[in-house]
Amino acid sequence: MELLGSQNLAATPDQVWAALFDRDVLEQAIPGCESLEQTSDTSFVAVVKLKIGPVSARFKGEIELSDIDPGKSCTLSGKGSGGIAGFAKGAARVTLTPEGDYTVLDYTADVAVGGKLAALGNRLIKSTAKKLTGEFFANFTKALTGEEETPVT
């Protein structure tokens, strides 16, 4: 399942970049985040509680940042295991482009789900993934700038 999106963030690329690696910002941004632990400069362990359709579960996941081009782009890969609900794994390529006072954040993510999450069909998963992504960037923008975000797509 592919997810594409773009966000306009009222901050400079450097500010956005720093926030992407900021444990506190990420903790506020990740929907349902119960705990987030930084295990190295580029890796985190998160526990997230989510409800997707009729399936609710706590996911324990690892997030790793790689292919880093500071201030410009990086790849976030993650794998989350949600016990009875299933699992999700994927990678997102994130690029930052300055545009006036804003920074445009583009992402291309490839996400795979398994277990009950897969059994319930991609329709539900895709809309939920979109919603969660939306929530993530809304929270991220708020944590970063104290303002509501302005989605482009």
Rounded Cα distance between 69 and 96, Å, is: 10
Scanning the structure block, which residue is given the tokens 């993650």? 78
Site residues for other proteins, window 122-141 (CB under 8 A)? 122
- Burial pattern 87-126, b for ≥16 Cβ within 10 A else e, equals bbbbbbebebeeeeebbbbbbebebebebbbeebeeeebe
Complex with other proteins: residue 79 or 93, whichever CB lies closer: 79
Instruction: Name the nearest CA neighbour of 20 among 59, 68, 88.
Output: 68
Residue 12: φ, ψ to 5°:
-80, 160
Residue count of the chain: 153
The yes or no reply on residue 82 touching other proteins (CB under 8 A) is yes
- Using the contact rule CB under 8 A, the part of the chain among 14-22, 28-36, 85-93, 95-103 near other proteins is 85-93
Residue 25 is a binding residue for other proteins (CB under 8 A): no
Query: Is residue 43 close enough to count as binding other proteins by CB under 8 A?
Result: no
Judged by CB under 8 A, the stretch of 36-44, 66-74, 95-103, 117-125 that binds other proteins is 117-125
How many residues sit in the footprint of other proteins (CB under 8 A)? 23
Chain positions 57 to 76 lying near other proteins, rule: CB under 8 A, are 57-58, 60
The nearest distance, CB 90 to other proteins, in angstroms, is 12
Contact set with other proteins (CB under 8 A): 54, 56-58, 60, 81-87, 112-122
